[in-house]
């Protein structure tokens, strides 16, 4: 097990050591300067992120599910990313976020659940029937969370794919995974507060993974959310606009096609493009 004092996310940040004496504007500038380094840290991980996208898309193509797991900020970020897949891509129950301590821990911290190696594995086994077709993305800035290690151990026991997102190159998670994404963002503005740069890096990576997997799985046409659920006026207007832009039809024709396609944007696009081909 890595010693906590050796983890870069736990180190002292010399650049922010006087933050408690700064004005509000100086604090904002200080945080902004540190945040500028996050995208560069993520950029160094692009080859691994690309491989992870393909692994996730392959799991979906074999009718498997993508599971995110984590504790604290890491777990919450996974739950947020998973919750955005159904409205954005019309895919229900295929991307699942698991949180140490259960969903109540999203708003009511349950930090002790992080130390229990079974807290997430039990959810995978008992509530979701995690199986060999699924794939697990373990998220932990430090890589020290026992609940995440336990989840990885269970996934490997079943022979499923495993990926980790961490912010330390000597993370305990790396040897437990098939593929590691380690974005070293360095010491935090507030020492050890990994909801900051580490959390930003994790969010950026999760955006890439889920978006890339949905593209590779065929849930995007061009760069349009072709399976978005048009469930309110704004989204209906967006759907009609997307159909018009993709096919060159009028708004009235787009609206008619959308209704005939039971609000499936991709099907409406296909119907209009098929008509255009026949002309």
Q: Which residues are catalytic?
A: 84, 114
Long-range contacts formed by 117-121: CB under 8 A, 24+ apart: 117/146, 117/147, 117/149, 117/150, 117/153, 118/147, 118/150, 119/147, 119/150, 120/69, 120/147, 120/148, 120/150, 120/151, 121/147, 121/150, 121/151, 121/153, 121/154
Sign of CA dihedral 245, 248, 250, 254: negative
Burial of 246 (0-12, 13-18, 19+ CB in 10 A): buried
Considering only the C-alpha atoms of the chain, give the largest distance between any 2 of them, rounded to a whole number of Å: 71
8 Å CB contact between 206 and 78: yes
CA 145 to chain centre: 18
Q: Report in angstroms the alpha-carbon separations of 207 from 64, 163, 201, 203, 241.
A: 20, 15, 10, 6, 24
CA pair distance 160, 131, nearest whole angstrom: 7
What single DSSP character describes residue 262? T
Token pair listed for 257: 């096609």
SS3 of residue 15 by DSSP:
helix
Distances, alpha carbon 83 to alpha carbons 16, 68, 94, 96, in Å: 34, 11, 10, 8
């Amino acid at each position: 097990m890595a010693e906590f004092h050796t983890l870069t996310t736990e180190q002292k940040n010399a650049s922010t050591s006087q933050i408690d004496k700064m004005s509000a504007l100086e604090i904002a500038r200080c945080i902004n300067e540190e945040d500028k380094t996050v995208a560069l840290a993520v950029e160094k991980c692009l080859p691994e992120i690309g491989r992870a996208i393909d692994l996730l898309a392959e799991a979906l193509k074999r009718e498997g599910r993508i599971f995110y797991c984590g504790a604290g900020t890491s777990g919450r970020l996974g739950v947020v990313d998973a919750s955005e897949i159904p409205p954005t891509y019309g895919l229900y129950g295929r991307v699942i976020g698991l949180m140490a301590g259960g969903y109540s821990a999203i708003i009511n911290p349950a930090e002790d659940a992080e130390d229990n190696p079974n807290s997430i594995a039990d959810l995978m086994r008992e509530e979701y029937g995690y199986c060999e077709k699924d794939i697990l993305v373990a998220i932990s800035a430090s890589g020290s969370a026992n609940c995440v290690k336990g989840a990885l151990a269970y996934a490997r026991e079943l022979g499923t794919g495993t990926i980790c997102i961490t912010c330390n190159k000597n993370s305990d998670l790396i040897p437990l995974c098939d593929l590691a994404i380690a974005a070293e963002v360095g010491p935090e503005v507030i020492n050890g507060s990994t909801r900051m740069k580490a959390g930003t890096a994790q969010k950026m990576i999760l955006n890439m993974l889920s978006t890339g997997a949905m593209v590779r799985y065929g849930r995007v046409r061009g760069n349009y959310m072709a399976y978005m659920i048009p469930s309110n006026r704004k989204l209906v207007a967006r759907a009609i606009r997307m159909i018009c832009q993709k096919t060159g039809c009028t708004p009235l024709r787009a609206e008619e096609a959308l209704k005939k396609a039971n609000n499936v944007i991709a099907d409406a696009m296909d119907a209009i493009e098929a008509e255009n081909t026949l002309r």
